[in-house]
Amino acid sequence: VQLVESGGGLVKPGGSLRLSCAASGFTFSSYSINWVRQAPGKGLEWVSCISATGNYIYYADSVKGRFTISRDNAKNSLDLLMNSLRPEDTAVYYCARSHQVVGLGGFDPWGQGTLVTVSS
């Protein structure tokens, strides 16, 4: 079971960035997937969740209206489109699978993370 994030980098405030998460080793279409971020030296902050079929999507208030989560079950992939980026969005972004097929559950496993830096 593996999750691999990509797409991080340096972006100016107000800019956009698309993160991707490639999954392997499990039936991707059976699990909800989450994005969780961690600002430098800070704790974990949940960002967004998408259900197995994509019918249910949830966002943290801090990113609602700016970030969009999506998934392609045919390609075993997950995206996070981030618009109107702010310096406080600077963080390592992890994708994390629900630990169980039914319900929201905990997060297991996690990817290795991708760093997003928002700075002029």
Partner 1 sequence: SYVLTQPPSVSVAPGQTATITCGGNNIGGEGVHWYQQKPGQAPVMVVYDDGDRPSGIPERFSGSSSGNTATLTISRVEAGDEADYYCQVWDTSSDHAAVFGGGTKLTVL
Binding site for partner 1 (CB under 8 A): 34, 36, 43-46, 49, 56, 58, 60-61, 94, 96, 99-100, 104-113
Least separation in angstroms between residue 31's CB and partner 1 is: 14
Least separation in angstroms between residue 115's CB and partner 1 is: 12
Nearer to partner 1, 16 or 27 (CB): 27
Least separation in angstroms between residue 74's CB and partner 1 is: 26
Amino acid code (one letter) for 79: D
DSSP string, 4-19: EEE--EEE-TT--EEE
Nearer to partner 1, 16 or 53 (CB): 53
Which of 55, 103, 51, 50 minimizes the C-alpha distance to 81?
50
Least separation in angstroms between residue 99's CB and partner 1 is: 5
Residue pair 21/8 in contact (Cβ under 8 Å)? The answer is no
Q: Which residues contact 102 (CB under 8 A, 6 or more apart)?
A: none
Nearer to partner 1, 36 or 85 (CB): 36
Nearer to partner 1, 22 or 60 (CB): 60
> How many CA within 13 A on the CB side of residue 98?
18
